[in-house]
Structure 1
Amino acid sequence: MTRRSEESSLPALPEEFSFIRRHFLALAGEGALGLTDDAAVFRPRPDRELVVAADAMVEGVHFLPTDPPDTIGRKLLRTNLSDMAAMDARPFGWLLTLSCPRNDGRHDDAWFAAFTAGLKQDQALFDVSLLGGDTTSTTGPLVLSLTILGDVSPGKALRRNGAQAGDGLWVTGTIGDGALGLKALLGELPDPTGWLTERYHLPRPRLGLELGNIAHAAMDVSDGLVQDTAHLARESGLGVRLDVDTVPLSDAARAVVTNDGLRELCLTGGDDYELLLAVPEEQSVQLQARCSARGVPVTRIGRFEPAGMGLKAVRRDGTSFPLSRSGWSHMGTDENFI
């Protein structure tokens, strides 16, 4: 029997592998081995430390079933890229684990073609590539889990535990657009320009700022500004004062934030994916210059204080701003640092 006839007698390609080739092979980069093996193989850059992070998104929890599939893919990648930005790392590759509802009639080839088209667009924008992953089916909702890989100069990764008393609390961009955008998508707020819903669908990871020699500590704002500020202070063994009236809002947010309830939503709603930074006073000018050079707005919104203070959210006149919650909880529990 000839080799050709032997090959023709092989079983048909399993649907899982066919699915991967149809939708994900075009995303595979160097080291992915054509997505045909059990793992990727790549050589880390010399004199760099590897940085790895992972995040999951669940349909109905982290995105709406009606969200466009291309923006779901892009948001998944961008939220992980934001973790790289928070550690001042350079991303280069990613892994995807996909658990898709079995025969639900919605997540068909057309849906995944749009999903991967969005990923391809952002791969080119952020210079990263797919290295591998896993696919499976589920009786529950669509679950997407992405692992991002990057590198950083040895000892230069920004962490959450380095803030010092007296450091300024700074944040990039604007706060509250994502949470307000979700309200707009649910029909609970107007969004005539589409700015708020666009910010909900597509976060802007603040990569490439190179703040390792400027900031003492950093993290990205994903679970709400108040809660993540408390995380930064807690990990550094400090208290923190948050000056509520200085928190930057976009023009679209200002147009709809007409009461303290909506302002609290901006402070606690999450989905901002901006950088929260602890910066010593002597580095504040350099911070602003570095961010300005990259076209990224940055605003001082408070100050780290000695331990024992907790978090105080105050207005411009010094009175406390009432907070009924601190932010999003992944485990369904309440934070208690305020």
Structure 2
Amino acid sequence: MSGTEFERIARYFAPLADEAALGLSDDAALWTPPYGKTLVLTVDQMVEGVHFLPDDPPGCVARKLLRRNLSDLAAMGGEPDGYLLTTALRVDTPEAWLAEFAEGLARDQKRYRIELFGGDSTSTPGPLMASVTMIGCVAPGAAWRRSGARAGDAVFVTGTIGDAALGLEAARGKLDDSSGHFRERRLLPEPRIGLPLAGLVHAAIDVSDGLVQDLGHICRNSGVGAVIEAGLVPASAAARAAGESWLEARLTGGDDYELILATPPDAEAALRKACGLVPVTKIGHFSGDSDEVVVLDRAGRRMAFTRTGWRHF
């Protein structure tokens, strides 16, 4: 890369900053939260070779980084305001890579009405890494938690489940993706920011590490179990065409960033109306039997998995 660290910041990142960032000329930002709101803070990182592939388009890497964090806010009913960005780039990272990365940030800043507040940059001899700390707000007492599900609540999911996992398999050459659908879903998830679900949700989480595993987090935090039917889990046309042999990958692969919602059993009609054009599907219910997730196949038999989701360690 050409130029000093500060020259690169001025060229690529200062145009992304708003007044709170003070032109990225000071050590910290000054931001006044909206009156009467509770802050929602989350941080997520992406490491080359772990969360994205070396040949993934830089703009998509940037946008996915923002969207992963936006999804965490969405899972708590929060609305985003801005973010802090940290990058660790190799010395030989091409200037064009950084330019495309910054352009990807700019595109999604405009889409989600957020601004860059500041951050840090450094070099690394290892794989490239970028991290975002997203800052948002929610009405006091209105944040959804993982711990609020109750026995008898319905289990709903937004969108479709499993396309991102199949996108990774396609990138590995194990699955045909001539339409590019799976690749698109892997690179650019759709965080469900802004759904007006106040009073309709007892608990929520986003599907980052796999449907079964993330649903299990709600169960353990809430002290309830869950029973879901694999045949009810919504799949895209492309996933259905790929066949039942990919069912376990779809249920446990993760990276979808759809929402799992625990809702009162009588709230289905109101939930669907509130979600509007965002598809929402009932896939099961929460029970009081234990804190485990039971997945039933189309014949009503309990399914067993080699793993329930992604684990770093």
| TM-score normalised by structure 1 residue count | 0.90
Q: Residue in 2 aligned with 1:275?
A: 259
Whichever of the two has the greater Rg, that structure is 1
Q: Residue in 2 aligned with 1:324?
A: 306
> What CA deviation, in whole Å up to 9, does each residue of 1:126-163 have, x standing for no partner?
00010000000111100111000000000001110000
Take 1:158 and 1:258, find their aligned partners in 2: how far apart are those partners? 34
Percent of matched pairs sharing the same residue: 51
Take 1:28 and 1:76, find their aligned partners in 2: how far apart are those partners? 17
1:25-104 equivalent positions in 2, closer than 5 A: 25-103=14-92
Q: Residue in 2 aligned with 1:147?
A: 133
Take 2:284 and 2:19, find their aligned partners in 1: how far apart are those partners? 44
Letter in 2 for 1:118: G
Letter in 2 for 1:274: E
- For the 8 Å contact 1:158–1:212, the answer to whether it is kept is no
Q: Residue in 2 aligned with 1:8?
A: none
Structure 1 position 34, deviation (Å) = 0.3
- For the 8 Å contact 2:201–2:264, the answer to whether it is kept is yes
Gaps of 5+ in 1: 1-13, 333-338
Take 1:42 and 1:216, find their aligned partners in 2: how far apart are those partners? 31
Q: Residue in 2 aligned with 1:158?
A: 144
Structure 1 position 321, deviation (Å) = 1.7
Matched residue count: 311
Structure 1 position 309, deviation (Å) = 5.5
Take 1:92 and 1:289, find their aligned partners in 2: how far apart are those partners? 26
Q: Residue in 2 aligned with 1:227?
A: 213
Aligned with residue 299 of structure 1, among 281, 292, 303 = 281
Q: Residue in 1 aligned with 2:247?
A: 263
Q: Residue in 1 aligned with 2:160?
A: 174
Take 1:86 and 1:117, find their aligned partners in 2: how far apart are those partners? 26
Take 1:125 and 1:226, find their aligned partners in 2: how far apart are those partners? 31
- After superposition, the CA RMSD in angstroms is 1.1
Take 1:223 and 1:315, find their aligned partners in 2: how far apart are those partners? 21
The secondary structure found in structure 2 opposite 1:203 is coil
Aligned with residue 308 of structure 1, among 263, 283, 290 = 290
Take 1:287 and 1:24, find their aligned partners in 2: how far apart are those partners? 39
The secondary structure found in structure 1 opposite 2:130 is strand
Letter in 2 for 1:161: S
Aligned with residue 269 of structure 2, among 285, 289, 303 = 285
Aligned: 1:128 with 2:114: yes
Take 1:307 and 1:157, find their aligned partners in 2: how far apart are those partners? 26
Structure 1 position 17, deviation (Å) = 0.7
